[in-house]
Amino acid sequence: MTATVRLEPAGRCRWDEPVRIVVRGLVPRQPVTLRAYLRDEKGTLFRAHARYCADARGEVDLTRAPALGGSFVGLEPMGLLWALEPEKPFWRFLKRDVQTPFAVELAVLDGHEPEGGRLLGRTVHERHFLPPGVRREPVRAGRVRATLFLPPGEPGLLGVRERVLWATSGFWYCFRGVCLGDTVKGPGIGLLGISLGADICLSMASFLKNVSATVSINGSGFSGNKSIYYKETCIPPLGHDLRRIKINFSGLLDIVDIRNDIVGGHENLSMIPIEKAQGPILFIVGQDDHNWRSELYAQIASERLQAHGKEKPQIISYPGTGHYIEPPYFPWCPASLHKLLKQPVIWGGEPRAHSKAQVDAWKQILTFFYTHLGGNWKGASPKL
């Protein structure tokens, strides 16, 4: 091997942090191919590659060098991560055990051959989700099944950034509080959820006290296929019609229109009574969401809040963005197996636009929580 791969920060970093990738020791103007490999927790291989040409000094710095082809083109310093694709069809990239990092192998190959030429250099980069010293404690109380993460030292000092990272990695999350009975003990409770998890958070914010801020990522705000019960309250399901399923040109199912029409708009009986929420709600929306029409649902939620004398909520909509808006640099999931339909469905979005939306949404969510839960957040991190 004749080339060296240098990373900044070196060794390992948190998943939401960008990493600078620089290849040195090449011949000036030498054509090379960079490849990234990662195996998820189920052992499925994810891969991405891009073709570059070294500069006059024999270097390829991904912050300055545009990709000439491969999994993406153009100047994309983090493209080798967000463009990762599963070897297994219709497989979604997930992180369940936040105690272990993902190891990303980066390889430099000579030339632009489709299968790659001689190996010139390689390195392994770890991306973690959990700061050192944090303990993971399972919670089992009645019907409650949860996980409590305890930082070293004084309780409650775990950073908002880490908690948002776990929440957007596949969980809905209760910040700075413990659920006890029919309330949450605060103060300063924040909720975040995606898809159905977002609707769970909206329900909690509507019925439970001490919730100071809620983030809904592509939620609907409606009771979907089953009724929602809380004490004497029952919210009937909106329901769906499977005859509305479409099949796209690739033979995949498109379920965006299977839900029943929203008769009565924001007064529909199946809508979660979000006007009862004590704290503000941030709606993060993908305009090309094909799970359901998230942008329409967010507008109806806004109408409901204003009709009940509440302030107009913040809605951030992203064009070219699908259903699973996840942490920065998570690979885009265009389609995967639907657990209920047992068939692959499309989730929408376009890779570059979706990736950029995830980075911006991350900053917006952190700013929102720091604003309403307290803290020292002063805007986007320079690293972002």
Q: Which residue has the tokens 């967000």?
A: 82
Name the token pair of 315. Answer: 């809605």
Distance CA 209, CA 276 (A): 10
Distance CA 291, CA 321 (A): 12
Distance CA 190, CA 82 (A): 28
The catalytically annotated residue of 40, 125, 169, 195 is 195
Q: Is residue 305 within 8 Å of 324, Cβ to Cβ? A: no
Q: Is residue 292 within 8 Å of 225, Cβ to Cβ? A: no
H/E run at residue 316: strand 314-318
Q: Is residue 217 within 8 Å of 360, Cβ to Cβ? A: no
DSSP reduced 3-state for 282:
strand
Q: Is residue 53 within 8 Å of 30, Cβ to Cβ? A: yes
Label the pairing between strands 12-14 and 119-128.
Answer: parallel
Q: Does residue 289 carry a catalytic annotation?
A: yes
The catalytically annotated residue of 266, 289, 354, 355 is 289
Sequence-distant contacts of 222-225: CB under 8 A, at least 24 apart:
222/259, 222/262, 222/268, 222/270, 222/271, 222/272, 222/297, 223/199, 223/270, 223/271, 223/272, 224/196, 224/199, 224/259
Q: Is residue 345 within 8 Å of 338, Cβ to Cβ? A: yes
Q: Does residue 49 carry a catalytic annotation?
A: no
Angle at 115 between CA 114 and CA 117, to 5 degrees: 105
Q: Does residue 125 carry a catalytic annotation?
A: no
Residues that are catalytic: 195, 289, 323
